[in-house]
Chains A and B, each alone.
Chain A
Amino acid sequence: MITVRIEPDNEVKTLEKINTTQQLLTRLNLLSTQALIIRGEELLTPDRRIGQGDELVVRKVVSLG
């Protein structure tokens, strides 16, 4: 299970059966250049593996005005 905080909505979700960044993006219905996937001090590319217990930030990047 992983925990994600989605910005700017500040919504927190716990998700299961997510093994890669790409799977996380797909689960959240996001394209790869629509959000930064942040783990601690690093950005994760779509091929990176996500581990059990990871806490991630999904920062949507589309300016909404």
Chain B
Amino acid sequence: MKCRRCKELAQIALPSHHTAFCRDCFERYFIRQIETGIRRQKMFTHEDRILCALSGGKDSLALMWVLSHLGYDVTGLHVDLGIEGSSPMARGQVEAFCQDHDLKLVVVETAPKGLGIPEVYKALKRPICPVCGKIKRYYFNKTALEGGYTALTTGHNLDDEVARLFANTLRWDQSYLSDQGPALPAEAGFAAKVKPLYRVTEFETAAFCFLKKIPHVKAPCPYSKGASFTSHKALWATLEEKSPGSKIAFYDGFLERGRPAFAALEPGHGTKLSPCRTCGYPTSVEWCGVCRLKRQVAGLPPEAAEAEE
């Protein structure tokens, strides 16, 4: 198989694009895909201060590398979830990456705030992924707003977005289908959230990290076993193998035609948000989910959350 661009021996085959690339041409393709996503979705400019959430995995580190390479003012944010074995490894990977590339990094630890994942898991005794996601989003947003960042980027890739869209579609979740997308503008209490990797797959980010020699965490989170998104991804991998290009067609089609249709149904039906009585985070009830969770983990009654802080 030859590189489509330079005709050298290819290292990466991309059936979804009916093409293959050598090392150098793949790097050029990958960066251009991200630039195209940023431009098409008007995610941010070189004037913005960008906070990039870094888990230590391939996607977020590849994203941070590319944003820095493109000259954006980007700072990394790592949320240390306090998971024995797993979190020190992830944090070490992120810190080493930022040090090696001379990049700014902010680290937030959840355990001292009463939200270490092992403690949360013990208190809830149910699948932890959605709760962990809620905690991370909370600290991403809080750090972005308090630090004056104008865009918050995450390493969600095309596979993540398709799996999420698929799950939302299976439930016909009108509310999520009305605003799922790679760019959510800032609104009261929320920083602008963007996903510049939405046009590349996790195969591509893994290949990019390998070729650029970016070390990253490969082991799965010890709490993620049985998560539904992995089975959705497996279904889509089979579909993509049989019909290359299905994922991007499904997602682009949704952005172009599906989302506007759902959004038209939503005005006036959205939930009204107000600041959490304890921390000020936007919530549809008196106290936000994270403040309620803190009390639950601490074994306190749900009422009077404001007394805690």
Task: Decide if B57 is an interface residue (CB 8 Å cutoff).
Answer: yes
Per-residue CB contact flags for chain B residues 56-85 toward chain A (1 = under 8 Å, else 0) read 011100000000000000000000000000
Kindly identify which residue among A32, A38, A45, A65 contacts B129, using a CB–CB cutoff of 8 Å.
A65
Chain B hits for A59, CB < 8 A: 206, 210, 218
Decide if A45 touches B12 in the complex (CB within 8 Å). Answer: yes
The reply on A11 being an interface residue by CB < 8 A is: no
Q: How far is the CA of A40 from the CA of B201 in the complex (A)?
A: 23
Asked if residues A64 and B20 are in contact (CB atoms below 8 Å), the reply is no
Main secondary structure, interface of B, reads: helix
Q: Using a CB-CB cutoff of 8 Å, which residues 1-58 of chain A contact chain B?
A: 7-8, 31-34, 36, 38, 42-48
Give the contacting residue for A45; candidates B20, B220, B227; CB below 8 A: B20
Interface residues on B, range: 35 or more
| Cβ–Cβ contact A63 & B57, under 8 A | yes
Can you name 20 A-B residue pairings with CB atoms under 8 Å? A31-B241, A32-B15, A33-B203, A34-B203, A36-B206, A36-B207, A42-B23, A43-B11, A43-B207, A45-B1, A46-B13, A59-B210, A61-B203, A61-B205, A62-B234, A63-B160, A64-B224, A64-B230, A65-B221, A65-B223
The 10 closest A-B pairs by CB, nearest first: A65-B224, A64-B220, A61-B206, A8-B218, A43-B11, A33-B203, A45-B13, A65-B221, A45-B1, A31-B241
Contact A7 B218 (CB under 8 A): yes
Q: Which residues of A contact B15 (CB under 8 A)?
A: 32-33
User: Would B202 and A63 count as touching, CB distance under 8 A?
Assistant: yes
A8-B211 in contact (CB<8A):
no
Asked whether any CB of chain A lies closer than 8 Å to the CB of B10, the reply is yes
Sorting the interface of chain A by its residue count into under 10, 10 to 19, 20 to 34 or 35 or more gives 20 to 34
- Alpha-carbon separation in the docked complex, A13 to B224 (Å): 26
Q: How far is the CB of B198 from chain A (nearest CB, A)?
A: 15
Chain A nearest CB, measured from B208 CB (Å): 11
Indicate if B49 sits at the interface (CB-CB under 8 A): no
Given the complex of chains A and B, what is the CA–CA distance between A45 and B15 in angstroms?
11
* Residues 12-67 of B contacting A (Cβ, < 8 Å): 12-13, 15, 20, 23, 57-59
Q: Does B219 contact A (CB under 8 A)?
A: yes
**Complex-state Cα separation, A7 to B215, whole angstroms:** 14
Q: By the criterion CB–CB under 8 Å, are A33 and B210 in contact?
A: no
Contact status B210-A32, CB under 8 Å: no
CA distance A42 to B240 in the complex (A): 24
Chain B residue with minimal CB distance to A57? B210
Question: In residues 209-258 of chain B, which contact A (Cβ within 8 Å)?
Answer: 210-211, 218-221, 223-224, 227, 229-230, 233-234, 237-238, 240-241
The closest CB in chain A to the CB of B217 belongs to A8
Assembly CA distance A58 to B219 (angstroms): 14
- B237's closest neighbor in chain A, by CB? A31
A43 touches B218 (CB 8 A): no
**Most central of A31, A42, A43 by chain B CB within 10 Å:** A43
Question: Which A-chain residue is minimally distant from B234 (CB atoms)?
Answer: A62
Q: Which residue of B lies closest to A46 (CB)?
A: B13
Query: Are the CB atoms of A33 and B201 closer together than 8 Å?
Result: yes
CA distance A15 to B28 in the complex (A): 35
Nearest opposing residue in chain B for A34, CB measure: B237
How far does the alpha carbon of A42 sit from the alpha carbon of B9 in the complex, in Å? 11
Q: Please give, as numbers and ranges, the residues of chain B lying within 8 Å of A32 by CB-CB distance.
A: 13, 15, 241
